[in-house]
Amino acid sequence: MTFIAAFISLFITAFTETADTVMLAGIDIVSSVKLSDDTNMQPYSATTIGRADIENRHINTIKELTAIAPNFYQPDYGSRMTSSIYVRGFGSRIDQPVVGMNIDQIPLMNKNNYDFELFDIDKVQIIRGAQSTLFGRNTSGGAINITTLSPLNFQGKRLSVEYGNENNIRVKAAHYEAASRRFGWSVGTYYNHSDGFFTNNYTGNKCDGGDNATVRARVQWLPADRWSIDNTLTVGYTDEGGWGYRLYDAASGTLAPIAYNEECFYRRFNISDGLVIKRFFDDFTISSATGYQYTDDKMHLDNDFLVDDYFTMEQAQREHSITQEFVIKSKNSEDLRWTAGVFTFYKRMKMNAPVHFHEVGVRELITKRLPSWFFIDENTFDITDDFVIPTFGAAAYLQAGYITGDFDFEAGLRVDYEKSTMDYYSHSLVHYTIPGAMLHEPIETLFDGKESVNALELLPGFSITYRHRHGNIYASARKGFKAGGFNTQIFSDILQNKMIRNMQGISDETDASATKYRPEESWNYEIGSNLSLLDDNLNISASLFYISCTDQQLTIHPATGTGRIMSNAGESRSYGCELATKYNIGDFVINATYGYTNAKFEKFINEGTNYKGNHLPYAPRETASLNIAYKIPAPHTIANHLILNIGWNGIGRIYWNEANSLSQSFYSLWQASLSWEKGHFGASLWGKNLLNKRYNTFYFRSIGNDFFAEGKPLQAGVSFHINL
């Protein structure tokens, strides 16, 4: 409380200063308080891509940074709701992510919001390896820090229009203005429409089209001497189809066409507001970052993905979250620096997840499990699943570094506490008949109660760095963790089993304790180097890593059930290497990356099968990328800039299950763009997956059937922009 009171008093006294004492020197309103922009001297692996590269290479989402950052993989699972990220072999298909995402220094608390359009983004930084000391929960694989365009750094109007195949339309418009050196504001909007790339053969319609829109407003103000205030408000809306899943025939090894009879869609409305206040002193900086986020989304699935009427499900969530962080950071001195902070959050999610059983589902999934003399009267019925899940967390951390000679020693510790509670209510009502017994009775099944999980984590981190004029060599060890939680998607299966036992007159005392899963903990050991050579024309980043993980969270599909669960898979380990280079030579800029990961189970037994020694599923063993940008010489009367980009990404092998019996082999994707700019005007021709490579991005199992989702086919288009 003393610290908070001191911070508030400083804020109040700031505005009593006279105008003639106001100084702009030493104020950086945009940069993160926690991290330095000089990645060449930092003891971690990071990839930063700036606005020019994002726009010239037509990178629209974080998913398109796959392989550009080595060992970073965010696949397209068929919907913006599913934003799974894998780094160095570890990740999660559902629930908690391994990578935290921060936008203008405010953390996103719901990974359903991770997939959004990168419009007017100044830079994206992807840090790999545990970052839990500074960033806390769910950053055991790293952190993604996104900085939007600042109205104090850029002024003007930006308009772009893009058209691609499958009626893919993108429109972006923004205005940036600085009324003075002290005050700037901006407002921008984005809209995207696509007819979709995949056809549902049962309906004859595209199944993955949709619309996305975003509005962003930002205000930056330097109200007094050494003070800055930065507020960003974002409102987004998504209405799309998706889930172009194809049935897999294991006997023939072939995929059937997409064919299911019920509509699938995902709709999301979200609001995010972040307020960052900084006070700059001679020797240190104090910052306050306050975030509020609201997410209201709804998913509707034909969850059997067949033309037969088995069952459909919905998942509607409403979540409010509030975050508050105070940070004090010293300015870099000759020998000592430190960063200290406190962080707290509260979020409350209300979820409704009803499952609607249709005629075939009632017969095949329910009636067949009953004695032959039982008859269920209804052809259809619902299982309702309602949840209220509030979560609270608080943390305090300190990280300090000491430089002696060419060596930099750094150590940090974070104390992180989290508690989550689940109030659940599941219900079904059906009628059954026993012929000859003249019974026509209702069976009402109710499953309700309350469960909680909590965790207290100590998250240390250590590093030693040798600094020299060309960069650094470092060694580090850091602990990370992913929060525990609840398996809400298995409640339908639980209620089905309870209902069947009720009909058979068997007592069922099942509770929800088995739906909880524990936090995942890991240690990340790394040695690496960041170098800048040839007068800064050649940048090289290389690292070797080893990760030891306990209680790994892994998505498990029951053999014949309708749900999926997150299970703690015992122990696993991962080791590998990463290499990233950037070389400027004449009119060429060459970027190349390579990542190798060997991730395997050390201890994991599921349903009597021992998977020790098998590869972890879902994450690629290798990633690679190469991009060549060539500034084509052209008369100034024709173009200020004429740039050709040619890129290649390679990804694979990816194992789809714990048994390693299904996998996606290594595949290559080619992309290219030609960008022209003259004065205020510009245009670009672009293409992605130019060879129309067919490959799978997702696998799952439902009611005993295997399904795959394919990656997007060839995409091509033209864009025009105006900057005034």
Task: DSSP for 626-691, please give it.
Answer: EEEEEE----TTT-SEEEEEEEEEEEEEEE-STT--SEE--EEEEEEEEEEEETTEEEEEEEESTT
Give the amino acid at 367: T
Q: Tell me, what's the pLDDT at 563?
A: 62
> Rounded to 10 degrees, what is the CA torsion of 375, 378, 382, 383?
-20
Bridge-partner residues for 709, per DSSP? 245, 698
Q: Tell me, what's the pLDDT at 20?
A: 33
Bridge-partner residues for 688, per DSSP? 671, 715
Residue 670, classified by CB atoms within 10 Å of its CB into exposed (0-12), middle (13-18) or buried (19+), is: middle
Task: Determine, yes or no, domain membership for 687.
Answer: no
Q: Tell me, what's the pLDDT at 522?
A: 94
Q: Tell me, what's the pLDDT at 559?
A: 57
pTM of the model: 0.91
Give the amino acid at 533: L
Q: What are phi and psi of 563, to 5 degrees?
A: -115, -170
Give the amino acid at 308: D
Q: Tell me, what's the pLDDT at 720?
A: 96
Task: Determine, yes or no, domain membership for 701.
Answer: no
Per-residue three-class SS string for 239-294: EECCCCEEEEECCCCEECCCCCCCCCEEEEEEEEEEEEEEEECCCEEEEEEEEEEE
Q: Tell me, what's the pLDDT at 28?
A: 67
> CA angle at residue 266 from 261 to 271, to 5 degrees?
170
- Determine the Cα–Cα distance for residues 653 and 659; give it in Å rounded to an integer: 14
- Concatenate the DSSP letters of all residues of 517-584 into one string: EPPEEEEEEEEEEEEEETTTTEEEEEEEEEEEEES-EEEE--SS-S--EEEE--EEEEEEEEEEEEEE
Task: Determine, yes or no, domain membership for 407.
Answer: yes
Close Cβ partners of 65 (under 8 Å, ≥ 6 residues apart): 47, 49, 59, 72, 74, 124, 126
| Domain CATH for 574 | 2.40.170.20
Task: Determine, yes or no, domain membership for 695.
Answer: no
How many CB atoms lie under 10 A from the CB of residue 586? 8
Q: Tell me, what's the pLDDT at 379?
A: 87
H runs (alpha helix) in 35-98 = 51-56
Q: Show the low-confidence residues of the chain (pLDDT under 70).
A: 1-28, 37-39, 333-334, 435-439, 557-564
Task: Determine, yes or no, domain membership for 471.
Answer: yes
Task: Determine, yes or no, domain membership for 76.
Answer: no
Task: Determine, yes or no, domain membership for 694.
Answer: no
Close Cβ partners of 81 (under 8 Å, ≥ 6 residues apart): 112, 115, 266, 268, 297, 299
Task: Determine, yes or no, domain membership for 72.
Answer: no
Bridge-partner residues for 418, per DSSP? 393, 455
User: Closest Cα to residue 107, out of 350, 327, 290, 341?
Assistant: 290
User: Closest Cα to residue 528, out of 578, 487, 478, 575?
Assistant: 578
User: Closest Cα to residue 494, out of 512, 476, 507?
Assistant: 512
Q: Tell me, what's the pLDDT at 319?
A: 96
Radius of gyration of the chain from Cα atoms?
27
- Residue pair 426/455 in contact by the 8 Å Cβ criterion: no
Report how many domains make up the chain: 1
Close Cβ partners of 204 (under 8 Å, ≥ 6 residues apart): none
> CA angle at residue 300 from 296 to 306, to 5 degrees?
165
Close Cβ partners of 724 (under 8 Å, ≥ 6 residues apart): 156, 157, 158, 680
Range of the domain at 200: 2-65+81-505+512-682+707-723
Element of type H or E holding 710:
strand 705-710
- Determine the Cα–Cα distance for residues 152 and 687; give it in Å rounded to an integer: 34
- Determine the Cα–Cα distance for residues 348 and 331; give it in Å rounded to an integer: 37
Q: Tell me, what's the pLDDT at 473?
A: 95
Bridge-partner residues for 719, per DSSP? 162, 684
How many CB atoms lie under 10 A from the CB of residue 448? 11
Q: Tell me, what's the pLDDT at 491?
A: 83
- Residue pair 368/423 in contact by the 8 Å Cβ criterion: no
Instruction: Give residue for tokens 């602990």.
Output: 479
- Determine the Cα–Cα distance for residues 589 and 208; give it in Å rounded to an integer: 36
Q: Tell me, what's the pLDDT at 562?
A: 61
